[in-house]
Chains A and B, each alone.
Chain A
Amino acid sequence: MDLTQLLNGIALGSLLMILSSGLAMIYGLRGVTNFAHGALYMAGAYIAYSVAQQVSFWAALIAAPLVLAALGAVLELVFFRRLQHRNHIEVGLVTFGLAMIIERVIVIIWGERTLSVDAPPGLTGTTSVLGSDYPSYRLLVIGIALALAVGLVYWLRKSRVGLHIRAASHDVETSAILGINVDRVSLLVVCIGAALAGLAGTLAAPYVSVHPAMGVAILIQVLIVVVIGGAGSIGGAMLAGMALGILQTVGAIWAPSLSVLIPYAALVVVLLWRPQGLAGKRA
Chain B
Amino acid sequence: MKCTRSTFIISALAVSGLLAACGSPQSAGDGNSADGEAVKVAVIPPSSGALAQFGQDAYAAWQFAADEVNAAGGIDGRKVEIIKMDTDATPATTLRAAREAVNQKDAKFIGGVMTSTEHGALNAQLEGLGALSFNGLGKDDALTGKDCNANAFRVVQSTTMDMNAVAEGLSKLPAATWDIQAVDYSTGHTSAKVFKAAADKGGKKMGIEQFAPLNTTDFGSYISKLKGSDADGLFAVEYGADGVAFVNQMAQFNLSKKYDTVLGFNMVSEPLFKALGDKIVGFNNNLGYDVNSDEPKNQEFVKAWAEKHDGARPYYVVADNYLSAQTLFEGVRKAGSADPEKVKEALNDLTFNSIAGEVTMRGADHQLIRPSYLGQVVKDDKGTAGLGWKILHKADGATIAGDPSPDCTL
Q: List 27 A-B contacts (CB under 8 A).
A: A8-B224, A11-B220, A33-B3, A92-B15, A96-B15, A112-B51, A112-B53, A114-B244, A114-B271, A119-B252, A126-B254, A133-B227, A138-B252, A207-B217, A209-B217, A209-B241, A209-B248, A211-B241, A213-B50, A219-B15, A220-B12, A226-B8, A231-B5, A231-B8, A249-B221, A276-B5, A283-B5
A252 at the interface (CB under 8 A from B): yes
**Complexed CA–CA distance, A85 and B1 (Å):** 7
Is there contact, CB below 8 Å, between A277 and B275?
Answer: no
Question: Which of A154-162, A190-198, A256-264 binds B?
Answer: A256-264
Give chain A residues whose Cβ lies under 8 Å from the Cβ of B18.
96
A163 at the interface (CB under 8 A from B): no
A88-B1, A253-B225 known; A138 and B245 CB under 8 Å? no
Q: Which of A110-133 contact B (CB under 8 A)?
A: 111-116, 118-119, 124-126, 133
Scoring A residues 165 to 182 as 1 if CB is less than 8 Å from chain B, else 0, what string do you get?
A: 000000110000000000
Question: Which of B94-102, B105-113, B208-216, B367-375 binds A?
Answer: B208-216
Is there contact, CB below 8 Å, between B244 and A224?
Answer: no
Give chain B residues whose Cβ lies under 8 Å from the Cβ of A9.
221
Scoring B residues 247 to 269 as 1 if CB is less than 8 Å from chain A, else 0, what string do you get?
A: 01101111000000000000000
Is there contact, CB below 8 Å, between A113 and B8?
Answer: no
**Complexed CA–CA distance, A90 and B207 (Å):** 54
**Complexed CA–CA distance, A30 and B8 (Å):** 12
Scoring A residues 70 to 105 as 1 if CB is less than 8 Å from chain B, else 0, what string do you get?
A: 000000000000001100110010001000100000
**Complexed CA–CA distance, A206 and B277 (Å):** 13
A269 at the interface (CB under 8 A from B): no
User: Which residues in B have some Cβ–Cβ distance to A below 8 Å?
Assistant: 1-5, 7-9, 11-12, 15-16, 18-19, 22, 49-53, 56, 184, 210-213, 215-218, 220-222, 224-225, 227, 240-242, 244-245, 248-249, 251-254, 271-272, 274-277
B38 to chain A, nearest CB (A): 31
B198 to chain A, nearest CB (A): 24
**Complexed CA–CA distance, A33 and B4 (Å):** 11
Is there contact, CB below 8 Å, between B271 and A217?
Answer: no
Top 9 A-B pairs, shortest CB-CB distance = A8-B220, A209-B244, A112-B53, A223-B12, A135-B252, A31-B3, A208-B217, A112-B52, A252-B221
A107 at the interface (CB under 8 A from B): yes
**Complexed CA–CA distance, A219 and B11 (Å):** 12
A46 at the interface (CB under 8 A from B): no
Scoring A residues 231 to 265 as 1 if CB is less than 8 Å from chain B, else 0, what string do you get?
A: 11000000000000000110011001101100000
Is there contact, CB below 8 Å, between B8 and A33?
Answer: yes
**Complexed CA–CA distance, A259 and B222 (Å):** 12
Most chain-A Cβ atoms within 10 A of its Cβ — which of B225, B242, B245?
A: B245
User: Which residues in A have some Cβ–Cβ distance to B below 8 Å?
Assistant: 2, 4-5, 7-9, 11-12, 27, 30-31, 33, 35, 84-85, 88-89, 92, 96, 100, 107, 111-116, 118-119, 124-126, 133, 135, 137-138, 171-172, 206-214, 216-220, 223-224, 226-227, 230-232, 248-249, 252-253, 256-257, 259-260, 271, 275-277, 280, 283
B105 to chain A, nearest CB (A): 26
Pick from A27, A107, A133, A259: contact of B52, CB below 8 A: A107
**Complexed CA–CA distance, A33 and B254 (Å):** 40
**Complexed CA–CA distance, A76 and B247 (Å):** 39
Is there contact, CB below 8 Å, between B12 and A224?
Answer: yes
Residue of A nearest to B8 (CB): A231
Is there contact, CB below 8 Å, between B15 and A208?
Answer: no
A253 to chain B, nearest CB (A): 5
Is there contact, CB below 8 Å, between B245 and A209?
Answer: yes
Identify 6 new A-B residue pairs, CB closer than 8 A, beyond the known A113-B275, A213-B49, A277-B5.
A113-B274, A133-B227, A171-B2, A209-B242, A211-B244, A213-B241
Most chain-B Cβ atoms within 10 A of its Cβ — which of A11, A27, A33?
A: A33
Give chain A residues whose Cβ lies under 8 Å from the Cβ of B249.
135, 207
**Complexed CA–CA distance, A208 and B18 (Å):** 25
B251 to chain A, nearest CB (A): 7
Is there contact, CB below 8 Å, between A33 and B11?
Answer: yes
Is there contact, CB below 8 Å, between A124 and B252?
Answer: yes
Is there contact, CB below 8 Å, between A114 and B272?
Answer: yes
Is there contact, CB below 8 Å, between B245 and A227?
Answer: no
Pick from B5, B12, B248: contact of A280, CB below 8 A: B5
Is there contact, CB below 8 Å, between B211 and A257?
Answer: yes
Residue of A nearest to B216 (CB): A252
**Complexed CA–CA distance, A223 and B184 (Å):** 25
